[in-house]
Structure 1
Amino acid sequence: MKRRKRMGADYVAPSPYSVKAALTKGDIFTKLSAVVFGLGNIVRRQFVKGVALLALEIAFIVFMITSGAGYLGKLPSLGDQEQGKQLVDGFWVYVQGDNSVVILLYGVCTIVACLLFVYLWTISLKCAYKAECLARKDGKAPDLKSDLHALTDQKAHQLLMFLPTLGILVFTVLPLIFMISMAFTSYDRDHLVLFDWVGLENFGKVFSTGNGTVSARLFVQVTVWTLVWAFFATFLNFFLGMFFAMVINRRTTRFKGFWRACFSMSIAVPQFVSLLVMHTMLQPTGAINRLLMQWGWIDQALPFFTDTTWARVTVIVINLWVGIPYTIMQITGILQNIPADLYEAARIDGANWWQIFTKITMPYIIFVLTPYLITTFTGNVNNFNVIYLLSGGAPVPIGDSAGTTDLLITWLYKLTVDKNDYNLGAVIGIMTFIVLAVVSLVTYRNSGSYKNEEAFR
Structure 2
Amino acid sequence: MGSKYPEPSKKFRKKAALLSVIAMGLGQIYNRQYVKGFLMLAFYVYGIFTAVTSLPHALWALVTLGETETHLQKVGRIYKQVMGDHSIFLMVESLITVFIMLVLIWLYIAGIKDAYRTGKLREEGVRPNTFKQTLSFVAAYRFPHIVLAVPILGVVFFTVMPIIFMILVAFTDFTRETMPPAHLINWEGLQAFKELLRTKAWSHTFYSVTLWTFIWAFFATITGYFGGFAAALLVQSKGIRFKSFWRTAFILPFAIPMFVSTLIMRNIFNGQFGPVNQYLGMLGIAKAPWLSDPLWAKITLVLVNFWLSFPVSMLMIIGILSTIPKDMYEAADIDGASGSQKTRLITFPMVMYSMAPLIIMQFVANINNFNIVYLLTNGKPLNGDFQFAGHTDILITWLFKLSMEQGKYNYASVIGIFIFIVLSVFAIWNVRRTKAFKEEDAS
* Range into which the TM-score falls when normalised by the shorter chain: 0.7 to 0.9
The alpha-carbon deviation at position 379 of structure 1 amounts to 0.5
Structure 1 residues not aligned, in runs of 5+? 1-23
2:129 aligned counterpart, secondary structure: coil
2:64 aligned counterpart, secondary structure: coil
The alpha-carbon deviation at position 291 of structure 1 amounts to 2.7
User: What per-residue deviation string (whole Å, max 9, x for no partner) do you get for residues 179-221 of structure 1?
Assistant: 011111100121112111111110111112433xxx1111111
Please give the residue correspondences for 1:321-400 in structure 2 after superposition, counting only pairs within 5 Å: 321-398=307-384, 400=386
The alpha-carbon deviation at position 405 of structure 1 amounts to 0.6
User: Which of 164, 173, 179 lines up with 1:177 in the alignment?
Assistant: 164
C-alpha distance in 1 between matches for 2:339 and 2:139: 52
Partner of 2:27: 40
Q: Which moved more, 1:289-298 or 1:329-338?
A: 289-298
TM-score by length of 1: 0.85
The alpha-carbon deviation at position 162 of structure 1 amounts to 1.8
Task: Note if 1:304 corresponds to 2:294.
Answer: no
The 3 A distance-change label for structure 1 pair 271 and 55 is farther
Please give the residue correspondences for 1:54-453 in structure 2 after superposition, counting only pairs within 5 Å: 54-137=41-124, 139-193=126-180, 194-211=184-201, 215-288=202-275, 291-292=278-279, 295=282, 297-298=284-285, 302-398=288-384, 400=386, 401-440=388-427
C-alpha distance in 2 between matches for 1:308 and 1:237: 22
User: What per-residue deviation string (whole Å, max 9, x for no partner) do you get for residues 373-421 of structure 1?
Assistant: 1111110000000100111001111253111111100000000000010
Q: Which moved more, 1:73-82 or 1:49-58?
A: 49-58
Detail structure 1 runs of 4+ shifted over 6 Å in the superposition: 450-454
Structure 2 residues not aligned, in runs of 5+? 1-10
Q: Match for 2:95: what amino acid? A: V
Partner of 1:11: none
The 3 A distance-change label for structure 1 pair 347 and 54 is farther
| Matched-pair contact (CA < 8 Å) for 1:370–1:444 | no
C-alpha distance in 1 between matches for 2:132 and 2:326: 52
C-alpha distance in 1 between matches for 2:404 and 2:49: 37
The alpha-carbon deviation at position 340 of structure 1 amounts to 2.8
1:75 aligned counterpart, secondary structure: helix
The alpha-carbon deviation at position 317 of structure 1 amounts to 0.4
| Matched-pair contact (CA < 8 Å) for 2:173–2:188 | yes
The 3 A distance-change label for structure 1 pair 116 and 126 is same
Q: Match for 1:322: what amino acid? A: L
Partner of 2:6: none
C-alpha distance in 2 between matches for 1:53 and 1:351: 73
C-alpha distance in 1 between matches for 2:135 and 2:329: 52
The 3 A distance-change label for structure 1 pair 86 and 206 is same
| Matched-pair contact (CA < 8 Å) for 1:237–1:320 | yes
Q: Which moved more, 1:413-422 or 1:369-378?
A: 369-378
1:87 aligned counterpart, secondary structure: strand
2:54 aligned counterpart, secondary structure: helix
The alpha-carbon deviation at position 336 of structure 1 amounts to 1.5
The alpha-carbon deviation at position 138 of structure 1 amounts to 5.7
The alpha-carbon deviation at position 136 of structure 1 amounts to 4.2
1:207 aligned counterpart, secondary structure: helix
Q: Match for 2:119: what amino acid? A: E
Partner of 1:8: none
| Matched-pair contact (CA < 8 Å) for 2:13–2:117 | no
| Matched-pair contact (CA < 8 Å) for 1:44–1:140 | no
The alpha-carbon deviation at position 452 of structure 1 amounts to 7.7
1:398 aligned counterpart, secondary structure: coil
1:37 aligned counterpart, secondary structure: coil
The alpha-carbon deviation at position 292 of structure 1 amounts to 2.9
The 3 A distance-change label for structure 1 pair 256 and 78 is same
C-alpha distance in 1 between matches for 2:124 and 2:50: 39
C-alpha distance in 2 between matches for 1:236 and 1:330: 15
C-alpha distance in 2 between matches for 1:264 and 1:49: 58
The 3 A distance-change label for structure 1 pair 289 and 56 is same
TM-score by length of 2: 0.87
RMSD, aligned CA: 2.7
| Matched-pair contact (CA < 8 Å) for 1:263–1:325 | yes
The alpha-carbon deviation at position 342 of structure 1 amounts to 3.2
The 3 A distance-change label for structure 1 pair 164 and 369 is farther
1:273 aligned counterpart, secondary structure: helix
The alpha-carbon deviation at position 366 of structure 1 amounts to 2.0
1:92 aligned counterpart, secondary structure: strand
1:344 aligned counterpart, secondary structure: helix
